[in-house]
Structures are given as C-alpha cells and as structure tokens.
Amino acid sequence: MPQSANKQPLAATLHQPEHNHLLNALSADVQQRLFPHLELVEMPLGKVLYESGDVLRYVYFPTDCIVSLLYVMENGASAEISVVGFEGLVGVALFMGGESTTSRGVVQSAGYAYRLFGNRMKDEFNRHGELLYLMLRYSQALITQMAQTAVCNRHHSIDQQLCRWLLLSLDRLKDNHLIMTQELIANMLGVRREGVTEAAGRLHRQGVIDYSRGHILVTNRCKLEQLSCECYSVVKTETDRLLPFNKLDKAFKK
C-alpha cells in the first residue's frame, strides 16, 4: 500500500478533536452533534487556506499546526495580524455573518487540523447556546491580539516584535522548536529581512535562541519574555481570562 494511503489513518490515531482547546471545552451534547462531521486534514507549511475576498466554506480547528492571518497589500507586501493554534479556530468571518475576510490564511507551522463545513458550524452557532458563547469570547480574544499587533508594529522595535512573535508561536506549540526562515519571519512582521537577521543575531548572542537553516530553538524563555514588550503579556492575559479552556465555565452556566 502506498505511504500516502497509510498516512491519514496513522494521523487519526495521533490527533483527536479534543486536542483543540475550543472543541475540548464543549459539552458532550455539542461534541456529539459536531464531531461526526469533523474531517482531519493535513496542514503543510505554506498551505494557503483562503485568500482575501474568498467566500469561506470551512472553519479549521488546529490540533498542532499554527496558521497566520496576513494582510496582503496591492504591491504584494504582507504583515501578520494574528496567529491561531490549538487554542482557537480559523474562519471566524463565516459565523460572524461576513462570509469572507480581507486577510489571507497561511500555515506557518506544519501539522494537522480538523475542518468543519461552514453550514454545520452556523447551524450549531444559531442554536444560541454554548458554542455561540464560546465563539464570541474567542473572537474577542482574537480582536485583542489583532489590536495589540497593530500597536506593537507601530511603536516597538523589531527586536521586541520578534520576541512577541516567538512567544505567541511557542504558546501554540508542544515544544520550544520552530521551523521558520528569516525571510518568512520578515514577511510575517512586515519588515526587511536584514532587520530580522540582526534582531535574531542579538537574541542568539544573549543566549536566548539558537538558529540554524530555518530551525529556531528557544533556549531561554524567561529571558525572551523579559526582552519582549508588554504586547505579549496583554494578549496572553486577555486570552487566559476569556478562554479558561475547561468544560463550559461557570459564566455560561449561570
């Protein structure tokens, strides 16, 4: 049997819907309605989930991949506005009523995700139950990340932006190792590659990261957090406040 034929069954044994924190936070009743319609899909590095202006057909719940939401200018320049990992989902515009978005969704770190057909998502959302409550809170956390990214890009140095970006990525990975070229990081941050090279070099000399041929190993997270601006802690604190990631928190049950 070809290797590709074995790949999906093997992946299904290693990835479960509950590995995504939003899906895991749902009650058993909602899980029973949604889980049969989830499809496990591979998310290779660089895969484009949608382009600006596309009508969204699916939402994606990452289990171990990271997806970057980018704004792309007419001249091709781009900048990241948020990152999504196992704490969230990609495609909020679909259930918020817009159906399309001005951003591009690109896989930043390879892995897997569960995708759900848009109509299934909207049917459950329109029950006005716990999924709606959870998605609204997640959307608020995502808006906070987008707003803080805009502030960071305007007021903070490339070094601080790189630290923030590394920390947000680490929070969405199972270890402290990232596979990402400096050119891709520059595209994410919307800065020149030379600026990222210099900033990464300074972090390396301070013993914070090791970098070699697209592989970044964070060796001192505490120092990385000290060197970052307040933008990272603002996003993390708000995300932790809004999404405690347990079975329906008490605010909904009241």
14-36 average pLDDT score = 93
Q: Is it true that 3-155+232-253 and 157-228 share their CATH fold?
A: no
Which pLDDT value is given to residue 6?
53
Euclidean distance between CA atoms 76 and 58, whole angstroms: 25
Which pLDDT value is given to residue 252?
42
When the pLDDT of each residue in the chain is averaged and rounded to a whole number, the result is: 86
Which pLDDT value is given to residue 191?
80
Q: How far is CA 220 from CA 195, 196, 198, 203, in A?
A: 22, 19, 18, 10
For the record, the structure tokens of 128 come out as 């006005």
Q: Is 217 left (phi over 0), alpha (psi -120 to 50) or beta?
A: beta
Q: Where are the domains of the chain?
A: 3-155+232-253, 157-228
Could you please state the CATH topology (level 3) that the domain comprising 157-228 is classified under. Answer: Arc Repressor Mutant, subunit A (1.10.10)
Taking only the tens place, the pLDDT of each residue in 54-109 is: 889 999 999 999 999 998 888 877 788 899 999 999 999 888 877 778 889 999 89
Euclidean distance between CA atoms 228 and 243, whole angstroms: 23
10-14 average pLDDT score = 68
Taking only the tens place, the pLDDT of each residue in 235-252 is: 999 999 988 654 444 444
200-226 average pLDDT score = 90
200-209 average pLDDT score = 92
Model pTM score = 0.87
Nearest to 85 by CA among 30, 132, 142, 140: 142
Nearest to 195 by CA among 215, 224, 223, 165: 165
Euclidean distance between CA atoms 249 and 21, whole angstroms: 13
Which pLDDT value is given to residue 251?
42
Q: How many residues does the chain have?
A: 254
The CB density around residue 192, as the number of other CB atoms within 10 Å, is 11
Euclidean distance between CA atoms 183 and 63, whole angstroms: 26
User: At the top level of CATH, which class does the domain 3-155+232-253 belong to?
Assistant: mainly beta
